[in-house]
Amino acid sequence: MKKIVILPSFERSIRRFTSIEKNQLVIALEKFNDFLVTGKISSGLGFKKIRHDIFEFRIDIRLRVIVKDENDTLYMVIAGSHEDIKRYLKDFR
């Protein structure tokens, strides 16, 4: 099983979330964990590959989480809006 590491950038990005968004994040992280354990994608998770080692999943209709896969580790990189994600992907090509 892969190790999950939460990066400081992820922690910074969720600080500005409302309490409702944080609750939605918890639910999305539980679905993501279930996916890692079972291999079955839960409806609504919206898990997809962005690049060869970068993936995204949905928190809700407008919020996403970026995950970077390196060897046996999954890094939680950033959580934010579609624009936040686009900015991250543009800056880290």
Q: Distance (Å, rounded) from C-alpha 47 to C-alpha 44?
A: 9
Other CB atoms closer than 10 Å to residue 89's CB: what's the count? 15
Full-model pTM: 0.89
Q: Is the pLDDT of residue 1 over 80?
A: no
CATH of 3-91, one of 3.30.2310.20, 3.90.1150.10, 3.40.50.720, 3.30.70.2860: 3.30.2310.20
Q: Write down the pLDDT at residue 2.
A: 85
Residues facing 75 on adjacent strands? 5, 68
Handedness of CA 50, 83, 8, 33 (dihedral sign): negative
pLDDT tens figures, 34-93: 999 998 988 889 999 998 899 999 999 999 999 999 999 999 999 999 999 988 888 876
Q: Write down the pLDDT at residue 90.
A: 85
